[in-house]
Amino acid sequence: MKYTRIPTDTFKNIQMNAGILVDSFDPATGEVGNLIGATTGGINFTDTPSFTDFGDDIDNCPKNTKELKKMESRDVKMSGTFVTITVATAKKLAGAADIDSDNSSHIIPRNDIEAGDFGDIWWIGDYSDTNTGNNAGFVAIKLINALSTTGFQIQSTDKNKGQFAFEFTGHYSIASQDIVPYEIYVKSGSASTEPMIYLDKHTVSITSTGSYTFTPTVVPADSTITWNSSSTSVATVEDGVVSAEGAGNCIITASITVSGVTYNDTCTVIVED
């Protein structure tokens, strides 16, 4: 049967198991931070974009004409259910809240949101046919500026575990309005360490007189890094130091060459006027 088939690498490209929620993750090394809590039923992530169709009210113009379609924003959410609770997790679920300085077991909700209530959250799941050891494969989602938007919830059950439903929403920043509040990483597992270069930032905003210094992760560690800017009128780069030249956006590329093969990673630099 001609069309009854699957890709030959199917079992190298499958995401398995429920994954974990942590407060930090390094995609270059696979090192995870603190587990936020044990979950049940897995994690649900959604990215719902909203659009404006500028041709919708124009006579004789077909609906959904691509040249007249504009994306307004993305509503990004990560939800699930915890079956464990700590003071730190309860504070996070409450959204806008403080831990009482005189009683560390006392969490006080607030009616106002502060900058410290937002924080990044990572979901990481097993991926590929190599999913154990230091070079295990993973699918990871970084939810940026996450805030609990459904508040603290608990469902207790007779002779069973209490469950704490949650929903975190990723948020844009007024300082970097073009940065979508999530990122995705997909890395296959490997039996041996392959050459690579990984930048510590993939989006950076600086002022018209500012700069930023990258801290790249490189394998092999003694590789020579070549730096390049897609627009030197916006920003220049030398030895990993990006310097603003003028308002706009550009792409900074860091490259290494190992055995004749070039590996690179990029970062979008936004220079604000």
Q: What does pTM read for this prediction?
A: 0.70
Q: Could you give the CA distance from residue 125 to residue 139 in angstroms, rounded to a whole number?
A: 5
pLDDT of 193 reads 66
pLDDT band at 114 (very low <50, low <70, confident <90, very high): very high
Are 263 and 217 in contact by the 8 Å Cβ rule? The answer is: no
pLDDT of 192 reads 56
HSE value, Cβ hemisphere, 13 Å, CA-based, for 273: 3
- Neighbouring-strand partners of residue 69: 53
Q: What is the mean pLDDT of residues 72-93?
A: 96
Residue-level length of the chain? 273
Q: Could you give the CA distance from residue 164 to residue 116 in angstroms, rounded to a whole number?
A: 22
Burial 150-179 (b: 16+ CB within 10 A, else e): eebeeeeeeeeeebbbbbbbbbbeeeeeeb
pLDDT digits over 24-45, tens only? 999 988 889 999 999 999 999 9
Q: Which CATH architecture has domain 194-273?
A: Sandwich (2.60)
Instruction: Name the nearest CA neighbour of 118 among 87, 150, 144.
Output: 144
pLDDT of 191 reads 60
Written as one string, the DSSP assignment of the chain is -TT----TTGGGS-EEEEEEEES-EETTTTEE--B---BSS--EEEEEEEEEETTTTSTTPPTT-GGGEEEEEEEEEEEEEES---HHHHHHHHSSEEE-TT-TT-EEE-SS--GGG-EEEEEEEEESS--SSTT--EEEEEEEEEEESS----B--TTS--BEEEEEE---BTTBTTS-SEEEEEE---SSPPPEEE-S-SEEEEETT-EEE---EEESTTPPPEEEES-TTTEEEETTEEEE-SSEEEEEEEEEEETTEEEEEEEEEEEE-
pLDDT digits over 130-175, tens only? 877 778 899 999 999 999 999 999 999 998 999 999 999 999 999 9
Q: What is the mean pLDDT of residues 106-125?
A: 96
Are 139 and 182 in contact by the 8 Å Cβ rule? The answer is: no
Share of the chain above pLDDT 70, in %: 99
pLDDT digits over 197-235, tens only? 999 889 899 998 999 999 998 888 889 999 999 999 999
pLDDT of 135 reads 80
Average pLDDT along the chain: 93
Q: What are the boundaries of each domain within the chain?
A: 1-192, 194-273
